[in-house]
């Protein structure tokens, strides 16, 4: 479903472009969940942003194919409409725009690209209520401005509500587990399974900790270091990392 080959990318900084990804190769098939772990500065968030098409992240070499099409040719909003969802490590606050308006615009913009009729206000609210309940989020929070005044955990839960409403084919979740307490971690884990566990969907989970993987069982675990995948294994690799650390394992 997602095929990344020899990806090289650099990030614009005040001191000029800085190479972060150095020949990253990775393939995630439909129906699979992969975890990416790695030390700070390895390039995990850069990978997420590069796949999302964030301005300032330039690809210097390599290719990314998503569902048979060249992902890198698409604008960020076109990637979303093609079925790619990027869960943010730091979800952005947007004062003055309610969650409901934001998500309805998003859902209908995606539907328009796919040639589907827009959801009416009533249809959208029904869907939003269902997904908010799945993540045990109060509907009142959906009426508030996007992420404004939300705690770190509420922001992450809101990301998952958004994922539920937008129903993507492929989700890249960048440290969705950081900032969550134990109960919220379980709710988010259950949410990911409920929304994304399907033979025609796939997930790339970027995480620092093994704990989320207790709830969302990965098919494969990759270690990212120095901008490349240096080791790939099964779920046991995450346990080994937790015990021994990156230096010993990678």
Residues that bind another protein (CB under 8 A): 52-55, 75-77, 79-81, 85-86, 88, 91-97, 101-103, 105-107, 109-110, 113, 145, 162, 166
Which of 31, 56 has the CB closer to another protein? 56
When the beta carbons of 147 and 207 are compared against another protein, the nearer one is: 147
Q: Are strands 220-225 and 33-37 parallel, antiparallel or unpaired?
A: parallel
Instruction: Give least dist CB 80 to another protein, A.
Output: 4
- Please say whether the beta carbons of 173 and 205 come within 8 A: yes
- If the CB atoms of residues 107 and 142 are measured against another protein, the closer one turns out to be 107
Minimum CB separation of residue 212 from another protein in Å reads 21
HSE-up of 33 (CA within 13 Å, CB side)? 20
- Please say which residue, 7 or 48, places its beta carbon nearer to another protein: 48
198/66 Cα distance (integer angstroms): 17
Helices 152-166, 99-113: axis angle to 10 degrees equals 30
The residue (of 4 and 107) whose beta carbon lies closer to another protein is: 107
* Residue 107: CB minimum distance to another protein, A: 8
Angle among Cα 39, 45, 46 to the nearest 5 degrees reads 110
Q: What is the number of other CB atoms lying within 10 angstroms of the CB of residue 224?
A: 24
**Least distance in angstroms from the C-beta of 105 to another protein:** 5
- Tell me how long the chain is: 250
Q: Please, what is the minimum distance in Å from the beta carbon of residue 236 to another protein?
A: 33
H or E segment and range at residue 155: helix 152-166
Cβ at position 77, least distance to another protein in Å: 4
Contact between 210 and 239 (Cβ < 8 Å): yes
Collapsed DSSP state (helix, strand, coil) of residue 176 = coil
Nearer to another protein, 97 or 139 (CB): 97
User: What is the separation of C-alpha 219 from the centre of its chain, rounded to a whole number of angstroms?
Assistant: 17
Helix or strand or coil: residue 4?
A: strand
- Minimum distance from residue 81 beta carbon to another protein (Å): 5
201 or 228, CB closer to another protein?
A: 201
């Amino acid at each position: 479903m997602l095929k990344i080959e020899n990806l090289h990318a650099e990030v614009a900084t005040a001191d000029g472009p800085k190479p972060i990804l150095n020949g990253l190769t990775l393939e995630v098939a439909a129906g699979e969940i992969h975890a990416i772990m790695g030390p700070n500065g390895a390039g995990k968030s850069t990978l997420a942003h590069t796949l999302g098409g964030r301005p300032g992240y330039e690809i210097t070499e390599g290719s990314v194919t998503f569902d048979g099409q060249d992902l890198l040719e698409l604008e960020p909003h076109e990637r979303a409409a093609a079925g790619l969802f990027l869960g943010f490590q730091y979800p952005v606050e947007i004062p003055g725009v309610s969650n409901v308006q934001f998500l309805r615009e998003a859902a209908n913009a995606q539907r328009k690209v796919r040639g589907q009729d827009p959801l009416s206000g009533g249809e959208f609210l029904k869907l939003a209520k269902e997904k908010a309940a799945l993540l045990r989020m109060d509907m009142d929070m959906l009426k508030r401005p996007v992420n404004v005044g939300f705690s770190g955990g509420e922001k992450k839960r809101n990301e998952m509500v958004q994922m539920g409403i937008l129903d993507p084919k492929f989700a890249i979740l960048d440290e969705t587990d950081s900032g969550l307490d134990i109960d919220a971690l379980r709710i988010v884990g259950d949410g990911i399974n409920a929304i994304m566990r399907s033979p025609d969907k796939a997930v790339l989970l970027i995480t620092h900790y093994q704990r989320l993987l207790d709830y969302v069982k990965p098919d494969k675990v990759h270690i990212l270091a120095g901008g490349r995948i240096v080791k790939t294994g099964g779920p046991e690799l995450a346990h080994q990392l937790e015990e021994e650390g990156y230096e010993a394992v990678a």
